[in-house]
Amino acid sequence: MSADAPNYDELLDLRRDLHRHPEPAWREFYTTARLVDTLETRPLDELYVGPEVLAADRRGVPDDAELDEWTHRAIEAGAREDVVARLAGGNTGLVAVLRRGPGPTVGLRVDIDGLPITEADGASHRPAAEGFRSENEGFMHACGHDAHATVGVGVLDAVAASDFEGTLKVFFQPSEETVAGGEPMAEGGHLDDVDYLLALHVGLDHPTGEVVAGVDGFLAVSHFRAEFSGASAHAGGHPERGRNAVQAMAAAIQNLYAIPRNHDGATRVNAGLVGGGTASNIVPEEAFIEGEVRGETTELMEYVDDHAQRTLRSAAEMHDCEVDVEYEGRAPGGESDDALASVVSAVADETRGVDSVLASDDLGGSEDATYLMQRVQERGGLAAYVCVGTDHPGGHHTPTFDVDEETVRIGVDVLSGAIRRIAAERP
Amino acid sequence: MSADAPNYDELLDLRRDLHRHPEPAWREFYTTARLVDTLETRPLDELYVGPEVLAADRRGVPDDAELDEWTHRAIEAGAREDVVARLAGGNTGLVAVLRRGPGPTVGLRVDIDGLPITEADGASHRPAAEGFRSENEGFMHACGHDAHATVGVGVLDAVAASDFEGTLKVFFQPSEETVAGGEPMAEGGHLDDVDYLLALHVGLDHPTGEVVAGVDGFLAVSHFRAEFSGASAHAGGHPERGRNAVQAMAAAIQNLYAIPRNHDGATRVNAGLVGGGTASNIVPEEAFIEGEVRGETTELMEYVDDHAQRTLRSAAEMHDCEVDVEYEGRAPGGESDDALASVVSAVADETRGVDSVLASDDLGGSEDATYLMQRVQERGGLAAYVCVGTDHPGGHHTPTFDVDEETVRIGVDVLSGAIRRIAAERP
Amino acid sequence: MSADAPNYDELLDLRRDLHRHPEPAWREFYTTARLVDTLETRPLDELYVGPEVLAADRRGVPDDAELDEWTHRAIEAGAREDVVARLAGGNTGLVAVLRRGPGPTVGLRVDIDGLPITEADGASHRPAAEGFRSENEGFMHACGHDAHATVGVGVLDAVAASDFEGTLKVFFQPSEETVAGGEPMAEGGHLDDVDYLLALHVGLDHPTGEVVAGVDGFLAVSHFRAEFSGASAHAGGHPERGRNAVQAMAAAIQNLYAIPRNHDGATRVNAGLVGGGTASNIVPEEAFIEGEVRGETTELMEYVDDHAQRTLRSAAEMHDCEVDVEYEGRAPGGESDDALASVVSAVADETRGVDSVLASDDLGGSEDATYLMQRVQERGGLAAYVCVGTDHPGGHHTPTFDVDEETVRIGVDVLSGAIRRIAAERP
Amino acid sequence: MSADAPNYDELLDLRRDLHRHPEPAWREFYTTARLVDTLETRPLDELYVGPEVLAADRRGVPDDAELDEWTHRAIEAGAREDVVARLAGGNTGLVAVLRRGPGPTVGLRVDIDGLPITEADGASHRPAAEGFRSENEGFMHACGHDAHATVGVGVLDAVAASDFEGTLKVFFQPSEETVAGGEPMAEGGHLDDVDYLLALHVGLDHPTGEVVAGVDGFLAVSHFRAEFSGASAHAGGHPERGRNAVQAMAAAIQNLYAIPRNHDGATRVNAGLVGGGTASNIVPEEAFIEGEVRGETTELMEYVDDHAQRTLRSAAEMHDCEVDVEYEGRAPGGESDDALASVVSAVADETRGVDSVLASDDLGGSEDATYLMQRVQERGGLAAYVCVGTDHPGGHHTPTFDVDEETVRIGVDVLSGAIRRIAAERP
């Protein structure tokens, strides 16, 4: 590619096209196909898609009807049918590989999924005003993953056009919002020879021009869905014939929040979406809890999870009900390696448009990039989670979220610069 | 009575037409209009509709969008627009009056609403096989109110054609299934001069040919909907910023079921439909309970209700939430008067097709006919709740419920016969 | 014995002596020894004591230290050491047998234990004023069992002096207040040839002069003690090391009271005495619940008991604790046989001092006489629970309870009369 | 310093005499009197006792009967009656003042109360083997406060014999174990002119020879006692007449532990001692919770406390009960000032017998010395909490706890040395 790479006009067109087509976890058919289309025009060495990049075990995959609906929607929106066919079963996502000689292998992880949030529609919301508001009503890129994917393409362009020596792999990961995509991608094989891994997030309350070189403070997290089942009965006539799934659910909720605090650090538990029963006068046969447990470390998360599992089972048993608990997503804790973050920091300091560089900052939330980071770190590699600030009008996960598109350029410059220097310096 | 009254072919056509158009509480637009159409062909003295038969205070009325939808649906199905216009705001139901000289005033109460149940569609389900299955998908006459309304018309025909002396009022009551229609109809004014009141139910596990002259054992009931509201927060980042409506709901559920039992008789409580929250990782801002309290007497129901209200309020306060509790329907306990039931029993004994007559039986459930019965009894009148058995393939409130249409004839004969004898004997 | 039997001066001396020495369940050492002393002066045929009258399995027996203390106390108060020695292990109680020819075997059951209540000490409380207040401070005959035992002796005297033909067995039962003595006495063998059984209670809010011939409405009951054990921990330093027995207890309490009501009749549950933990800053290692379940029938009691057991186990498991549940006492439901009560009623009608005879009345509580009644009824015999009214200044189980001593005479007359007529008439 | 000051034989006699007479919170009559006796032999300038050193508001004071018993016990053990008389109402504790010229005012805080623990009695427990085991059976100096008080006297001796210029105040504080004595002593007036404050604790799992110059990591704490009252009723006959205090207690316990975690730091809650009710068959009228709330900061403790108060009130209201909540003790969080700890550290480094000096360590528990530290720090002074290690056979608050008496000497040397240097250097 020529010296004028990357082409930002093309990149911003891509970002807005992805923004118009937000797709939730394991349903990123249009997104994956659009990225394949784009990347096939690049001088890449390898491009792996769907089942080629994911381990077989995946959590939280929707049922076939749901997958069919989104497959259909993607094709109607113009996705290439041959690519979509390769994503059968919701095996979305891709990995692009650029091989430039004998140097180290550097990975970049970007995520690509959207959220079940209805996008704002007012004149002050730029996507609405400028015609790239979500066309999938009820869904939205409200966390900047459209920009992440775009930066991933831009970095490939920039590195390809540079004197980089080594291998670059860009991981376009699905299903981050449900913390379900990280684990199968970490175990998909393509990470096993990665020496250095960078992961990207934009915003996080940092303004345009600020960069955090190595984000820390990830809470390990596990999402679960518990389904209680008992037996219904006429609540007036024969209450004794019921096995009350709502009573089981309520006992579980009360006791989940009461799991003991832990000396070793912060823990969290939440029963975030619950429901049960059918009508006032029927003893409820079914109920469910969608919840999560978190911990400052993976061990602390597992401590809460052990208690939570026992609480759910005992609450069911107490009311003579059954309970089925499914994990829907999970991510370990994690930390950025200082040695790698230092390189990012040094490059950011020299990057046009960057006026503030923080060595580290606490996320205070969860992210399944930690699975990929952990995979690399366990094998002796280094990893850093980089935040590229962006002025965002609304908060993350709100209807008025948007990114300052200048961030795409800064992100490409910082990350491609860091990748080149990492290959050169091997920190 | 002229030999051709009532005309059962016409009555069964009516029943099947009503069956095809089941409408839930306060949305009986087609049903009311169809009955007005039919009754206007009769030699009635007065016909009161909608707001003319209901007190202004009504519980559980749906919002305007919902009412508009059903209004529209009724008109599309052929309901007369001028009648539907009179039912604005969901003021459904009607009262038909036949005046035949100076005798006593006898009332007959039938109910007209359907249920939110999807009707069976197999060949063994007669309405499906013979083409009168519900056309309002998701709704169904699964408790025989289509037959009740039809018997109401038939009784008017039979009594009009007889030597009856006195006044007959037939109350076509909406919203029985939500126990919301009884109270405003009882207070609508038309019951205040009724000396004797009969109420009808078909089936109740009694076969065709069996009649219960005076049903007892009504549990007083009150339905409520409690809406808890707190404040959402990120469950990982700032749990302390939340005011957790699901915790409030769970505390309420646990303690509702634990309301003390009562020496004076049976009590019931149920949290039959509950829900709350939005996602695993958000502290829930909203939650709700749709529930009911019951008692063997009105006093016992009110005992449970007092405890339930206090429990709901305290549970909200405990978690720094607000709660708004709405009554959605209510019915007192009640008893049939033996003196009136004896007349029904005597007539039933002589009726063709009746081979078993029970003086009384326990309902073991709730019914807002008790409001109308109580209104009459408080003013010195007598009331009896009559069950006319019918072979029903599926249970009440199940998708395969249906009535044996012979029951329509038996019901008309027993009730019109009883009305004539009541007027003659003044028990 | 001569025609002047019974000797009421002697009987009232006995009653007052027993009143001065109230002993709680399984600790009736003085009482049993005093009765043996008295009865050995009578012309009885057999006298069985302690282990000779009780099945080996007994619930709620205190530990050895407690038994030793009461043994010692009894001997200090003058109990015969040889008799007390036969009651080792708290095998208290006795059965006296009078054989008078070939007639039927009639049983009379009286109970002999006191209560852990501190007796009133004012001038208006007759036992205090007249010098027979409890000498076992903190314990009291607050339910009239001193009078019951005395009537048992008097009936033996009266029947012995009469023309009675048959066998009379008087069962002096321990541990009624804890519903623990009935079952082992019912299974002790002496009841197996009893054709007719009468059981006695005084008072029950019926005044002197009133007799209830056949009390009904016994609630079946089961008492339990659940001990939860977990692990303690410093609540500030290491809450995660605790396994919190108080949390288990609280979860159990909340859910015990929420056991579903039952269509078939009244049920009850109570966590009447609870406790746990050691200090504010220690995660509690131990906790307990002393509670009971009841039902209008034995089946209903067992329904509640099944739910209670499951609730206790699940609550322990939920908080990673163990629970040990012991039954401490139990009694089935029961009913008096009308045929037998009729004889009592007829005799009472003719008894001096009786001015009101009720055929039956509901107890509304529990009594382990039902075990003995059931034993007889299952083998084809008849049983009746007789209440002999007495003016009692304070209520049963209160510090000012006392009996009108005239009741002793009326009780002896009614019961001995009934026993003679039963033998004669064989109802 | 004269060679004979302090006299360690006398000090160890004092320590063992105090060990033989452990007294719990607000009942340190013997201890205070014994210290007054000892200190009156010293060349002190002022000695304040009881009400002269405590603000009027005190929490957790026992009732009069309890105070009388311990007053009596103290006098029997040889306490001077005139001193005990000055401690009326449980106003125990004292402040000794040494004025030596115009320098700064330095304070030393030691605590003097014992614990409700039964002391070990085996040959391997030195106090038992050597004849100074507790003579107040059931109570014990199981946290070393006997040594603390002794060190306080020794420091007075050592400083008096030195070239110290300034004022030394030693605060002998009662009621630390219940975190009740710190606040009234902090507000008693004698701390208001203190420029530097040291507080002492021995042990804390540090061995003899180790010193921690400035302990940190105090959790703010508040102890409460909640008493629920409702109404009793016969659980079988009239459950509806009860207002169940045990249900209220259980609802409170479940929801206390479920108070939301907090982003800003660690929080704790514990229901450590609970109980209620009287017997299986009585609806419980009374119940109580003795519990505590803690936080990494005072604000966090107050956050939990606000939730706890609301939870207790709402739980009572939910079951139609009343609740009365008393604070029984309270302590804020706190931190040692590095500048002051540095002086302690430097002196310790030079002290004979000290082989390890830690600049700081986390307590991970609570201590009401923080009230005194805060009082000084708020007025511009400096404070440090010093730990002097001791080999203790059993853990703190266990029956085999004991101190290595060499610790008394080391404590006196380190603290008196530090006080002299503080006066000289004014850090």
Nearest to D273 among C223, C237, C278 (CB): C278
Beta bridge partners of A273: A290, B277
Nearest to A267 among D254, D257, D261 (CB): D261
C276 to chain D, any CB pair closer than 8 A? The answer is: yes
Number of residues that this document lists for chain B: 427
Query: Smallest Cα–Cα separation from C49: which of C10, C85, C73?
Result: C85
Tell me the pLDDT band of D395, cut-offs 50, 70 and 90.
confident
Q: What is the C-alpha to C-alpha distance for residues B342 and B426, in angstroms, rounded to an integer?
A: 12
Mean pLDDT across chain A, nearest whole number? 95
The string of pLDDT tens digits covering residues C105-134 is: 999 999 999 998 889 999 999 999 999 999
Query: Smallest Cα–Cα separation from B104: which of B385, B379, B381?
Result: B381
Residues of B in contact with A283 (CB under 8 A): 270, 272
Quick one: which H or E segment has residue A334? none
Please give the residue that has the higher pLDDT: either B46 or A365: B46
Q: Give all chains having 3 or more CB-to-CB distances under 8 Å with chain B.
A: A, C, D
Q: What is the C-alpha to C-alpha distance for residues C42 and B318, in angstroms, rounded to an integer?
A: 68
Q: B64-76 and B29-39 are packed helices; what angle lies between their axes, rounded to 10 degrees?
A: 40
> How close, in Å, is residue C201 to chain B by CA atoms?
23
Q: What is the C-alpha to C-alpha distance for residues A41 and D131, in angstroms, rounded to an integer?
A: 93
D290 to chain C, any CB pair closer than 8 A? The answer is: yes
Task: Give the strands of the sheet with A94-100, arranged side by side.
Answer: A46-49, A94-100, A166-173, A105-111, A196-202, A382-388, A210-216, A356-362
Side chain identity, residue B399: P
What is the pLDDT averaged over residues A352-376? 93
Beta bridge partners of B94: B49, B172
Query: Smallest Cα–Cα separation from A115: which of A15, A223, A24, A202?
Result: A24
Following DSSP, what letter does each residue of B247-313 receive, concatenated?
A: HHHHHHHHHHTTSPP-TTS-EEEEEEEEEEES-TTEE--EEEEEEEEEESSHHHHHHHHHHHHHHHH
Tell me: pLDDT of A395 over 90: no
Q: List Cβ neighbours of A4 (8 Å cut-off, separation of 6 or more).
A: none
> What's the CA dihedral at B322, B325, B326, B330 to 10 degrees?
180
Beta bridge partners of B361: B215
Q: Candidates 3.40.50.10710, 3.40.630.10, 3.30.930.10, 3.40.50.1470; correct CATH number of A8-218+332-425?
A: 3.40.630.10
CATH hierarchy code of domain B8-218+334-425: 3.40.630.10
Note the pLDDT of residue D281.
86
Note the pLDDT of residue C273.
96
The string of pLDDT tens digits covering residues D154-213 is: 999 999 999 999 999 999 999 999 999 999 999 999 999 999 999 999 999 999 999 999
Q: What is the C-alpha to C-alpha distance for residues D181 and B186, in angstroms, rounded to an integer?
A: 68
Quick one: which H or E segment has residue A126? helix A126-129
D281 to chain C, any CB pair closer than 8 A? The answer is: yes
Tell me: pLDDT of A99 over 90: yes
Query: Smallest Cα–Cα separation from B148: which of B97, B87, B198, B79?
Result: B198
Q: What is the C-alpha to C-alpha distance for residues D421 and D427, in angstroms, rounded to an integer?
A: 9
Q: What is the C-alpha to C-alpha distance for residues B274 and A287, in angstroms, rounded to an integer?
A: 9
What is the pLDDT averaged over residues C70-86? 97
Beta bridge partners of B48: B95
CB atoms inside a 10 Å sphere around CB D72: 12
CB atoms inside a 10 Å sphere around CB C61: 17
The token pair that represents A295 in the structure block: 């911990």
Q: For A42, what's the count of Cα atoms within 13 Å in the CB-facing half-sphere?
A: 28
Tell me the pLDDT band of D4, cut-offs 50, 70 and 90.
low
Q: Are strands B196-202 and B94-100 parallel, antiparallel or unpaired?
A: unpaired
Query: Smallest Cα–Cα separation from A290: which of B244, D261, C314, B276?
Result: B276
What is the pLDDT averaged over residues A202-225? 95
Tell me: pLDDT of A4 over 80: no
DSSP C329: E
SS3 (DSSP) at C216: strand
Mean pLDDT across chain D, nearest whole number? 95
B266 to chain C, any CB pair closer than 8 A? The answer is: yes
For testing the chain D interface, which of A219, A255, A261, A262 should be mutated: the one with the most D CBs within 10 Å? A261
The token pair that represents A379 in the structure block: 């094998």
Q: What is the C-alpha to C-alpha distance for residues A83 and A177, in angstroms, rounded to an integer?
A: 23
The token pair that represents D144 in the structure block: 């070393």
Instruction: Please answer whether residues D141 and D19 qualify as being in contact, where contact means their C-beta atoms are separated by less than 8 angstroms.
Output: yes
SS3 (DSSP) at C109: strand
Per-residue pLDDT tens listing for chain B (427 residues):
344 579 999 999 999 999 999 999 999 999 999 999 999 999 999 999 999 999 999 999 999 999 999 999 999 999 999 999 999 999 999 999 999 999 999 999 999 999 988 899 999 999 999 999 999 999 999 999 999 999 999 999 999 999 999 999 999 999 999 999 999 999 999 999 999 999 999 999 999 999 999 999 899 999 999 999 999 888 888 899 999 999 999 999 999 999 999 999 999 999 999 999 988 988 999 999 999 999 999 999 999 999 999 999 999 999 999 999 999 889 999 999 999 999 999 999 999 999 999 999 988 789 999 999 999 999 999 999 999 999 999 888 888 999 999 999 999 999 999 999 999 999 9
Q: Do D247 and B258 touch (CB under 8 A)?
A: yes
DSSP C218: B
Beta bridge partners of D106: D168, D196
Instruction: Please answer whether residues B151 and B182 qualify as being in contact, where contact means their C-beta atoms are separated by less than 8 angstroms.
Output: no
Tell me the pLDDT band of A271, cut-offs 50, 70 and 90.
very high
Note the pLDDT of residue B4.
55
Q: What is the C-alpha to C-alpha distance for residues D147 and D391, in angstroms, rounded to an integer?
A: 13
Known binding residue D177? Answer is yes
% pLDDT > 70, chain A: 99
Query: Smallest Cα–Cα separation from A333: which of A288, A303, A291?
Result: A303
Q: List Cβ neighbours of A346 (8 Å cut-off, separation of 6 or more).
A: A421
Cis preceding linkage at B393, omega within 30: no
What is the pLDDT averaged over residues A356-373? 92
Residues of A in contact with B278 (CB under 8 A): 272-273
The string of pLDDT tens digits covering residues C227-241 is: 999 998 888 888 999
User: What fold, for D220-330?
Assistant: Alpha-Beta Plaits (3.30.70)
Q: What is the C-alpha to C-alpha distance for residues D123 and C8, in angstroms, rounded to an integer?
A: 64
Nearest to C268 among B254, B261, B267 (CB): B261
Query: Smallest Cα–Cα separation from B186: which of B414, B374, B395, B408?
Result: B374
Note the pLDDT of residue B69.
97
Note the pLDDT of residue C49.
97
Residues of C in contact with D254 (CB under 8 A): 247, 250-251, 254
What is the pLDDT averaged over residues C352-368? 92
Tell me the pLDDT band of C278, cut-offs 50, 70 and 90.
confident
B312 to chain D, any CB pair closer than 8 A? The answer is: no
Nearest to A258 among D257, D263, D267 (CB): D257
Q: What is the C-alpha to C-alpha distance for residues B129 and B122, in angstroms, rounded to an integer?
A: 7
What sign for the dihedral angle of Cα A387, A391, A393, A399? negative
Q: What is the C-alpha to C-alpha distance for residues C311 and C325, in angstroms, rounded to an integer?
A: 11
Tell me: pLDDT of A104 over 90: yes
Residues of A in contact with B257 (CB under 8 A): 244, 247
Q: What is the C-alpha to C-alpha distance for residues B250 and B261, in angstroms, rounded to an integer?
A: 21
The string of pLDDT tens digits covering residues C12-37 is: 999 999 999 999 999 999 999 999 99
Mean pLDDT across chain C, nearest whole number? 95
User: What fold, for A220-329?
Assistant: Alpha-Beta Plaits (3.30.70)
Tell me: pLDDT of D3 over 70: no
Note the pLDDT of residue B365.
84
Q: List Cβ neighbours of D24 (8 Å cut-off, separation of 6 or more).
A: D113, D114, D115, D116, D139, D177, D178
The string of pLDDT tens digits covering residues D54-102 is: 999 999 999 999 999 999 999 999 999 999 999 999 999 999 999 999 9
- In the annotated binding site of B for Mn(2+), the residues are 143, 145, 177, 201, 397
Tell me: pLDDT of C3 over 70: no
Q: Do B258 and C261 touch (CB under 8 A)?
A: no
Query: Smallest Cα–Cα separation from C177: which of C132, C213, C141?
Result: C141
The token pair that represents A283 in the structure block: 């003893």
Give the distance between the most distant pair of CA atoms in chain A.
81
For testing the chain A interface, which of B246, B318, B325 should be mutated: the one with the most A CBs within 10 Å? B246
Please report where in the chains the tokens 């109460």 appear, as a residue.
B109
Please report where in the chains the tokens 């289309």 appear, as a residue.
A37
DSSP B90: T
Query: Where exactly are the structural domains of chain A?
Result: 8-218+332-425, 220-329
SS3 (DSSP) at B198: strand
Q: Do B272 and A257 touch (CB under 8 A)?
A: no
Q: What is the 3-state secondary structure (H, E, C) of chain D?
A: CCCCCCCHHHHHHHHHHHHHCCCCCCCCHHHHHHHHHHHCCCCCCEEEEHHHCCCCCCCCCCCHHHHHHHHHHHHHCCCCHHHHHHCHHHCCCEEEEEEECCCCEEEEEEECCCECCCCCCCCCCHHHHCCCCCCCCCCECCCCHHHHHHHHHHHHHHHHCCCCCEEEEEEEECCCCCCCCHHHHHCCCCCCCCCEEEEEEECCCCCCCEEEEEEECECEEEEEEEEEECECEECCCCHHHCECHHHHHHHHHHHHCCCCCCCCCCEEEEEEEEEEECCCCEECCEEEEEEEEEECCHHHHHHHHHHHHHHHHHHHHHCCCEEEEEEEEEECCECCCHHHHHHHHHHHHCCCCCCEEEEEEECCCCCCHHHHHHHHHHCCCEEEEEEECCCCCCCCCCCCCCCCCHHHHHHHHHHHHHHHHHHHHCC
In angstroms, how far is the first alpha carbon of chain C from the final one? 28
Q: What is the C-alpha to C-alpha distance for residues B385 and B344, in angstroms, rounded to an integer?
A: 10
Residues of C in contact with D273 (CB under 8 A): 276-280, 284
SS3 (DSSP) at A182: helix
